[in-house]
């Protein structure tokens, strides 16, 4: 269900910049010039209400009375120390979803949305009861005051942590470890007691069960409603939002043409196949980013930058594919991307050029 968006016709005087958003449906492309605050986005009447209600039902089923306030923001988040949940603004409108699919890393599926909501509810529960100040919390999860780094080097498949969001996200910071543990505990039919039997993470889940039982119905001492970035305060245009995000996520790869030989061996030369290779890559772009991020632990921005670089090179080299063998090409490309990602994770570079 759509929100009360300003009419796209109102932005016809300023057409979108060329090459940024090319290929978008007309209604979405026109919105690029709209100030986000002027779109009058809200949660009421959108599909997001269904997911928020589901979250509240899951909390109730676990005996937790806390109902974190949700609001539209620039990204997923829970302001540190404040039990509220920010939801990306683009999830509130179908035209904005198409822009996110084209210019971002792909809009979240319904499954993704619920996973993020459970995770952010974990932060909210932690902050509402100030659990991070307790000695048993510190003993299990670590120092809440530990520096929060944008990059981290996880140990894939470590059994000290639960596995929920992609990239082994529980290993990023003690606060994220708790939020991920809460999310697994909250998820219906997760069967966590059996799934994590014998793991070091089971002690964290057992703690979560205990604290949920003892504090779930207690009045939360923290009831702040301070927001990081409310959608009604977002002065920038939709285009500026994505331009800035692209700048922040852009990685200086310093790869150049050094993978051209590998790409030439992976795909076919010009006029050999029946489809341009970059057409296949664009169609599978979101799935590639998701699968490589899921298991490598490398950030989406790095994987996205590498894949976009490969797309540029494949296009420049005019490589092709045999459309009927698409699965084979994608399997090989996934292996190449994963290898590059793992090299970057452990050596801070994609390959040794010496």
Mark whether 206 and 256 lie in a shared domain.
no
Q: Do the Cβ atoms of 87 and 48 come closer than 8 Å?
A: yes
Same domain (yes/no): 161, 262 = no
Residues 258 and 198 both lie in one domain? no
In a domain, 223, yes or no: no
Mean pLDDT of 131-142: 97
Checking if the pLDDT of 210 tops 70, the result is: yes
Statement to judge: residues 166 and 36 lie in one domain = yes
Range of the domain at 89: 8-215
Band the pLDDT of 260: cuts 50, 70, 90: very high
- Is 20 in contact with 31 (CB distance < 8 Å)? no
Q: Is the pTM of this model over 0.75?
A: yes
pLDDT tens for each residue of 165-181: 988 999 999 999 999 99
In this predicted structure, the answer to whether residue 13 has a pLDDT above a threshold of 60 is no
Is residue 220 situated within a structural domain? no
In a domain, 225, yes or no: no
Across 297-307, average pLDDT:
84
Count Cα neighbours of 87 within 13 Å in the Cβ-side half-sphere.
Answer: 27
Cross-strand bridge partners of residue 72: 87
Least confident range of 47-61, 82-96, 175-189, 247-261:
247-261
Q: What is the pLDDT of residue 120?
A: 98
Average pLDDT over residues 269-287: 92
Residues 205 and 255 in one domain: no
Q: How far apart are CA 12 and CA 33, in angstroms?
A: 9
Average pLDDT over every residue of 83-101 = 94
The answer as to whether 313 is a domain residue is yes
> pLDDT at position 346, please?
79
For residues 38 and 95, membership in a common domain is answered with yes
CA-atom Rg of the chain in angstroms: 22
Residue 222 lies inside a defined structural domain of this protein: no
The per-residue pLDDT for 104 is 74
Q: Is residue 318 part of a domain?
A: yes
Report whether pLDDT(18) > 60: no
How would residue 245 be classed by pLDDT, with cut points 50, 70 and 90? Answer: confident
Q: Are residues 20 and 239 in contact, defined by beta-carbon separation less than 8 angstroms?
A: yes
Assess whether pLDDT exceeds 60 at residue 223: yes
Q: What is the mean pLDDT of the chain?
A: 88
Task: Say how many domains are in the chain.
Answer: 2
């Amino acid at each position: 269900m759509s929100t009360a968006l300003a009419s796209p016709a109102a932005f016809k005087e300023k057409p979108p910049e060329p090459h940024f958003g090319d290929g978008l449906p007309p209604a979405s492309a026109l919105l690029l010039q709209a100030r986000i605050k002027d779109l009058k986005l809200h949660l009421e009447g959108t599909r997001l209400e269904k997911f928020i209600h589901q979250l509240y039902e899951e909390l109730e089923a676990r005996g937790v009375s806390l109902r974190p306030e949700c609001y539209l923001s620039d990204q997923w988040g829970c302001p540190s120390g404040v039990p509220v949940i920010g939801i990306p603004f683009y999830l509130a409108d179908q035209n904005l979803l198409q822009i996110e699919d084209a210019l971002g890393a792909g809009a979240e599926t319904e499954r993704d949305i619920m996973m993020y909501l459970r995770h952010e509810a974990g932060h909210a529960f932690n902050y509402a009861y100030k659990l991070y100040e307790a000695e048993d919390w510190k003993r299990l999860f670590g120092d809440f005051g530990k520096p929060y780094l944008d990059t981290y080097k996880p140990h894939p498949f470590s059994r000290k942590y639960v596995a929920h969001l992609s990239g082994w996200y529980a290993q990023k910071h003690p606060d994220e470890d708790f939020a991920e543990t809460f999310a697994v505990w909250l998820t219906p039919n997760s069967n966590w007691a059996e799934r994590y039997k014998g793991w070091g993470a089971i002690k964290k889940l057992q703690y979560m069960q205990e604290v949920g039982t003892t504090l779930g119905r207690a009045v939360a001492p923290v009831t702040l409603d301070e927001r990081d970035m409310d959608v009604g305060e977002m002065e920038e245009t939709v285009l500026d939002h994505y331009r800035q995000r692209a700048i922040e996520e852009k990685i200086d790869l310093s790869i150049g043409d050094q993978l051209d030989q590998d790409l030439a061996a992976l795909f076919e030369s010009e006029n050999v196949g029946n489809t341009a290779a970059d057409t296949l890559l664009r169609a599978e772009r979101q799935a590639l980013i998701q699968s490589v991020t899921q298991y490598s632990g490398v950030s989406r921005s790095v994987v996205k930058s590498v894949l976009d670089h490969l797309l540029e090179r494949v296009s420049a080299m005019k490589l092709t594919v045999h459309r009927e063998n698409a699965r084979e090409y994608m399997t090989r490309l996934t292996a190449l991307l994963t290898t590059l990602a793992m090299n970057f994770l452990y050596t801070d570079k994609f390959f040794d050029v010496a």
